[in-house]
Amino acid sequence: MNKIFEVPLYAYDRSPDQDAPAPVRHKVAVIGAGPVGLAAAIDLAQQGIEVVVLDDNDKVSFGSRAICFAKRPLEILDRLGCGQPMVDKGVQWNLGKVFFDDRQVYDFNLLPEEGHARPAFINLQQYYFEEYMVNRVRELQEQGAPIEIRGRNKVEAIGTHPDHVKLEVETPEGSYTLEADWLIACDGAGSPTRRMLGKDFVGRVFEDNFLIADVIMDADFPTERWFWFDPPFNKGQSALLHKQPDGVWRIDLQLGWDIDKEREKRPENVIPRLKAMLGEDVQFELEWVSIYTFQCRRMEQFRHGRVIFAGDAAHQVSPFGARGANSGLQDTDNLIWKLRLVMEGKAPESLLDSYDMERVHGADENILNSSRSTDFITPKSEMSRILRDAVLDLSEHHEFARPLVNSGRLSVPCTYDGSPLNSADALDGPARTRPGSPCPDAPLGDEFLLPKLADKFTLLTIDADAPDLIEEDGVEVTRLALSVKDDATLALKERYLGDNESGVYLIRPDQHVAARRPSFDEPQIRAAIRRATGKE
């Protein structure tokens, strides 16, 4: 079978840059055509900023890798014009079961909140995710957008200068030099860019190994997430079974620290393990097997002059909670509008330091959550195991213990509390929409709120007057005028007004709240716009 991850999607093609007499200068270069690099490039290109993506490979990711995509990244993908194919193909689930030893201790239904266009999350193989993003790149190219992916273009050296970077790029036909005003490094946890620039990457190593196997089976397992602590088929360790599209199942088996990785990866060793788990009679085929260890760490700073790091290149977490790719998409969502304003001369370069501050905050939250999940799943001392097992035993009998069971806390966007871009909260409104918060979606009849927010700043008015367009020092803010009557379910009122009769929200291009007030006040809103663009 010819899988999508075996087909070159952006094959090497000689670029005119390689024959240019002097290095060609680009606006932005992105290193890495994974989910994060592609998101950065699509975001730039659809806002008219020229971008070239360099990748040392020419195919989408090998094997399923990241499989769980949360609501916020799906909303970001909607803004990038490629959310729908992901949701159409992805598997949605709400039911989870937790097993301990030889028995099920409880099950749970996630019952996501109503009134959101997108589900809490979908399961989708990373290769589909990347394929749909590449499709979006091709679509933008057909529309004449300035975006290019160069396959088998490996960056070998980076020269940093005050106003540009210089890249030495190796190709199958030799090397060439290109320049870019800005460089976004999205080249993964092992980031060669980070290494070439000699930047730190410190954190905690977890001494454990996990076997991931993608198996294709016609088994009659329901579309649920099953997690085992200390199961009979993997004594003293954990296991996870999760469904992906196309009848592919993700199986994670914890192996412990002292193992021979090459040996454990061989099918003759993997298959008996899977049979013990799935039952001797279940017919399956192995699609992909990998063994991984993980670390929780981040760079001290994500921005180094004209080089900006995003995704796993900047921060790495354990896989529990699906906080890798999901947080990487939030990085570029945060970065690109700022970079655009800086490049257009509409904001000071220091605005980019807020990317660093806000996304370091996000990374720390993700590292904290994923470290805690890891500590629960793999207790590090005798007493932590005793307490962990006590929680599991109690969870079978008493509901109170179930929130303590931690097999991964699913990625949710962080609120940028304390960000220098926020204005003081002037509305006694719901906490979930305070300045710094990601805007929660809300239904508007047959439509939804979030798709109505543009790539630019929006002034959301709910039963309040305001001008349709405000321009403050080059930054345009367009009004979205709504009424609580637009949403019969009252979710809009509940999420944005609380007990207030009206509300005015200044919303950033990444759909985070910058300021809110009960009514429009021009000097205050203008000050909030300046503040949100790094001018106050």
Pairing mode, strands 174-185 and 24-31: parallel
Q: Which of 79, 35, 33, 31 is nearest to 327 (CA)?
A: 35
Q: Choose the binding region for another protein from 78-86, 121-129, 174-182, 397-405 (rule: CB under 8 A).
A: 397-405
DSSP string, 33-68: -SHHHHHHHHHHHHTT--EEEE-S-SSS-SS----E
The angle formed by the CA atoms of residues 501, 422 and 342, to the nearest 5 degrees, is 125
Cα-based distances in Å from 340 to 52, 169, 345, 478: 15, 25, 9, 17
Q: Which is nearer to another protein, 157 or 386 (CB)?
A: 386
Among 266, 398, 452, 485, interactor with another protein by CB under 8 A: 398
Among 109, 142, 220, 400, interactor with another protein by CB under 8 A: 400
Q: How far is the CB of 398 from another protein (least distance, A)?
A: 8
State how far the Cα of 64 lies from the Cα of 285, in Å rounded to an integer. 15
The CA R_g of the chain, rounded to the nearest whole Å, is: 24
Query: Binding of another protein at residue 391 (CB under 8 A)?
Result: yes
Query: Binding of another protein at residue 162 (CB under 8 A)?
Result: no
Q: Choose the binding region for another protein from 114-122, 307-315, 343-351, 390-398 (rule: CB under 8 A).
A: 390-398
Query: Binding of another protein at residue 375 (CB under 8 A)?
Result: no
Query: Binding of another protein at residue 24 (CB under 8 A)?
Result: no
How many binding residues for another protein (CB under 8 A)? 12
State how far the Cα of 252 lies from the Cα of 326, in Å rounded to an integer. 19
Q: Which is nearer to another protein, 376 or 496 (CB)?
A: 376
Among 11, 390, 424, 488, interactor with another protein by CB under 8 A: 390
Query: Binding of another protein at residue 139 (CB under 8 A)?
Result: no
State how far the Cα of 515 lies from the Cα of 503, in Å rounded to an integer. 11
Query: Binding of another protein at residue 401 (CB under 8 A)?
Result: yes
Q: Which of 296, 277, 284 is nearest to 238 (CA)?
A: 277
Q: How far is the CB of 229 from another protein (least distance, A)?
A: 15
Q: How far is the CB of 402 from another protein (least distance, A)?
A: 11
Q: Choose the binding region for another protein from 75-83, 157-165, 400-408, 439-447 (rule: CB under 8 A).
A: 400-408
Query: Binding of another protein at residue 103 (CB under 8 A)?
Result: no
Q: Choose the binding region for another protein from 274-282, 290-298, 352-360, 398-406 (rule: CB under 8 A).
A: 398-406
What are the phi and psi torsion angles at 267 (to 5°)? -50, -35
Query: Binding of another protein at residue 394 (CB under 8 A)?
Result: yes
Query: Binding of another protein at residue 389 (CB under 8 A)?
Result: yes
Q: Which of 403, 329, 396 is nearest to 359 (CA)?
A: 329
Query: Binding of another protein at residue 276 (CB under 8 A)?
Result: no
Q: Which is nearer to another protein, 264 or 389 (CB)?
A: 389
State how far the Cα of 333 lies from the Cα of 186, in Å rounded to an integer. 13
Q: Which is nearer to another protein, 389 or 455 (CB)?
A: 389
Q: Kindly state the tokens that stand for 247.
A: 């009848």
Query: Binding of another protein at residue 387 (CB under 8 A)?
Result: yes
Query: Binding of another protein at residue 235 (CB under 8 A)?
Result: no
Q: How far is the CB of 404 from another protein (least distance, A)?
A: 7
Q: How far is the CB of 156 from another protein (least distance, A)?
A: 52
Does residue 295 contact residue 312 with C-beta atoms inside 8 Å? no
Query: Binding of another protein at residue 521 (CB under 8 A)?
Result: no
Query: Binding of another protein at residue 101 (CB under 8 A)?
Result: no
The angle formed by the CA atoms of residues 49, 54 and 57, to the nearest 5 degrees, is 145
Query: Binding of another protein at residue 455 (CB under 8 A)?
Result: no
What region does 409 belong to: left with phi over 0, alpha with psi -120 to 50, or beta?
A: beta
Query: Binding of another protein at residue 386 (CB under 8 A)?
Result: yes
Q: How far is the CB of 381 from another protein (least distance, A)?
A: 12
Q: How far is the CB of 224 from another protein (least distance, A)?
A: 27
Among 4, 87, 357, 404, interactor with another protein by CB under 8 A: 404
Given 3-state DSSP classes, what are the helix, strand and coil percentages for the chain, each rounded to the nearest 5? 35, 30, 40
State how far the Cα of 536 lies from the Cα of 534, in Å rounded to an integer. 6
Query: Binding of another protein at residue 98 (CB under 8 A)?
Result: no
Q: How far is the CB of 389 from another protein (least distance, A)?
A: 7
Q: Which is nearer to another protein, 383 or 431 (CB)?
A: 383
Query: Binding of another protein at residue 357 (CB under 8 A)?
Result: no
Cα-based distances in Å from 337 to 1, 33, 38, 422: 41, 20, 15, 16
Torsion, Cα 264 269 271 277, to 10 degrees, reads: -70
Please report, as ranges, the residues that interact with another protein according to CB under 8 A.
383, 386-387, 389-391, 393-394, 398, 400-401, 404
